């Protein structure tokens, strides 16, 4: 029975990954979820699994060396899936330091503790041990609107404090691979969407605002392009890289689904109109009239687009969910989880929203 140490498992992608793994492997795996529960971590995301004998939650900070070492000492960890991070670009522009602390120092602590637990006297590692560092396409910088793509060989050129901190963490992982022959893979994925995504990110923010008849803030000219991937497809990619990824390799994961932000907003509005039942009062105001162009994000990357050729040819991964289906599933999930949205948007979220959007011309 393999034991997975998942960091940041109470966040958006981490919780979807844990659900995916239990759906796929049931009682044949063990999962330890280590998460400090920042504003983005939510144990409500994991209610359905918390009673399982093969699931354990540990509340700890990845920068806390003692706490992380203890988890390794008390458990025979086979696979680390390292999601824990500060993940929102706009927050990184306001407050960069916590991004360096969590994303860089936290990754250094995770690497140190895993190496200390796994490395044998002769400098090799037992069969089956692997550290998978979950990273982002943002490390590659910004593309022109010219049909080019990010490959694993594209030089790093991060622009935001968030992407710079993720790039630094990737380089630390690469240094462990080169220096200690550390058994790791890095995955660089494009924009995810799906259930449990915190409404600071574009898609859940637009769904939530539209359903309340609030303005839909579109940065700049709305023509920045992102490459959207349904979160389960990302989870599947991670599982496949854990199994089949060659030691030390990086794999880009992306959906071949480039869309301008304004297209995304329009698709959400059209899909909401289709899905809201006849007679629902929200049908009267869910419309393009809510769209409001606001001041652009500082240093806003123009376009991201992943070439997932390597993961397809080497590992056999391909995205399964068409955007039209994924967005319907996502909206259906938000319809069924109004209480979840109420909980995550109470209190601190209102303050965040006011700071970020009020007076944004
Ligand atoms: P998220 O912000 O939803 O979740 C992050 C989780 O990490 C939360 O549960 C939080 O409590 C936890 N965490 C934060 N700081 C911690 C600390 N110091 N110690 C322990 N736990 C801590 O993020 P997400 O969108 O699920 O992203 C997960 C990972 O995937 C990140 O590394 C991110 O860079 C990467 N990624 C995200 C996307 C995307 O579109 N969301 C795309 C590619 C890669
Ligand atoms: O590319 C992968 C990255 O995708 C991940 O590494 C990050 O963790 C994740 O947050 C995401 O980053 P983005 O900055 O691309 O995602 P976000 O949802 O914040 O914004 C998507 C696009 O929408 C971006 O061009 C900015 C724009 N936007 C965003 C918000 C929140 C708006 O126009 N209005 C908004 O209110």
**The predicted structure's pLDDT at residue 184:** 98
Residues in the chain: 361
Q: Average pLDDT, stretch 179-203?
A: 98
28 CA → ligand 2 middle, Å: 36
pLDDT of residue 341: 97
The answer to whether residue 338 is domain-embedded is no
Give yes or no: 48 in active site: no
Examine residue 288 and state whether it is found in any structural domain, yes or no. Answer: no
306 lines ligand 2 (CB under 6 A): no
15 alpha carbon – ligand 1 mean position (Å): 10
361 confidence band (pLDDT: 50, 70, 90): confident
Residue 361 lies in a domain: no
Q: Whose CA is nearest to atom 15 of ligand 1?
A: 85
Regarding the beta carbon of 253 and ligand 2, being less than 6 Å apart is answered no
Q: Which atom of ligand 2 is nearest to the CA of 88?
A: 10
Domain-located, residue 180:
yes
pLDDT of residue 347: 87
Give the CATH number of the domain where residue 149 resides.
3.40.50.720
- Mean of the per-residue pLDDT values for the chain? 97
* Overall domain count for the chain: 1
pLDDT at position 360, please? 86
Q: Return the pLDDT at 155.
A: 98
Domain span at 110: 2-193+229-255+303-320
Is residue 297 within 6 Å of ligand 2 at its C-beta?
yes
Q: How far does residue 89's CA lie from ligand 2's centre (Å)? A: 7
In a domain, 351, yes or no: no
Q: Is residue 298 part of a domain?
A: no
Tens of pLDDT, residue by residue over 125-172, are 999 999 999 999 999 999 999 999 999 999 999 999 999 999 999 999
8 conformational bin, left if phi > 0, alpha if psi -120 to 50, beta if neither: left
Tell me what pLDDT residue 359 has: 83
Q: Which of 5, 6, 38 to mutate to test the pocket of ligand 1 (most atoms within 8 A of CB)?
A: 38
pLDDT band at 182, cuts 50/70/90? very high
Res 75 pLDDT > 90: yes
User: Closest ligand 2 atom, CA of 356?
Assistant: 36
Tell me if 56 is assigned to some domain. Answer: yes
Examine the residue annotation and report whether 162 is marked as an active-site residue of this protein.
yes
pLDDT digits (tens, 9 = 90+) for 289-327: 999 999 999 999 999 999 999 999 999 999 999 999 999
Residue 108 has pLDDT above 80, yes or no: yes
Known catalytic residue: 121? no
> Is the pLDDT score of 18 beyond 80?
yes
Does residue 205 lie within any of the structural domains?
Answer: no
Q: What is the mean pLDDT of residues 225-232?
A: 98
Token couple for 224 = 């920045």
In the chain, the percentage of residues whose pLDDT exceeds 90 is 98
Mean pLDDT of 278-287: 96
């Amino acid at each position: 029975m393999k034991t997975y140490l998942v960091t940041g498992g109470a966040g958006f992608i981490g919780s979807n990954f844990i659900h995916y793994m239990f759906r796929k492997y049931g009682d044949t795996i063990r999962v330890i979820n280590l998460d400090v529960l920042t504003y983005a971590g939510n144990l409500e995301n994991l209610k359905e699994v918390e009673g399982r004998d093969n699931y354990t939650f540990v509340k700890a900070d990845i920068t806390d060396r003692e706490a992380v070492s203890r988890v390794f000492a008390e458990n025979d960890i086979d696979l680390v899936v390292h999601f824990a991070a500060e993940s929102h670009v706009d927050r990184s522009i306001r407050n960069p330091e916590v991004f360096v602390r969590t994303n860089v120092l936290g990754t250094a602590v995770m690497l140190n503790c895993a190496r200390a637990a796994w490395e044998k006297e002769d400098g090799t590692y037992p069969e089956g041990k692997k550290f998978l560092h979950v990273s982002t396409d943002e490390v590659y910088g910004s593309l022109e609107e010219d049909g080019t793509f990010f490959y694993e060989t594209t030089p790093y050129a991060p622009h935001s404090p968030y992407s710079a901190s993720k790039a630094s963490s990737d380089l630390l992982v690469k240094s462990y691979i080169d220096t200690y022959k550390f058994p790791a893979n890095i995955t660089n994925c494009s924009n995810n969407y799906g259930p449990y995504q915190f409404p600071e990110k574009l898609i859940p923010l637009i769904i939530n605002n539209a359903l309340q008849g609030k303005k839909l803030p579109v940065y700049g000219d709305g023509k920045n392009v992102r490459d959207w991937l349904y979160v389960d497809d990302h989870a599947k990619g991670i599982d496949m890289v854990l199994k089949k990824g060659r030691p030390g390799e990086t794999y880009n994961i992306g959906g071949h689904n480039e869309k301008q932000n304004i297209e995304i907003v329009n698709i959400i509005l059209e899909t909401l109109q289709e899905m809201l039942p006849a007679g629902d009062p929200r049908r009267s105001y869910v419309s393009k009239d809510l769209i409001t162009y606001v001041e652009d994000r500082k240093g806003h990357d123009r376009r991201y687009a992943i070439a997932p050729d390597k993961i397809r040819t080497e590992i056999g991964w391909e995205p399964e969910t068409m955007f039209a289906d994924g967005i319907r599933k996502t909206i259906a999930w938000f319809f069924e989880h109004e209480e979840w949205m109420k909980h995550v948007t109470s209190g601190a979220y209102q303050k965040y929203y006011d700071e970020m959007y009020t007076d944004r011309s």
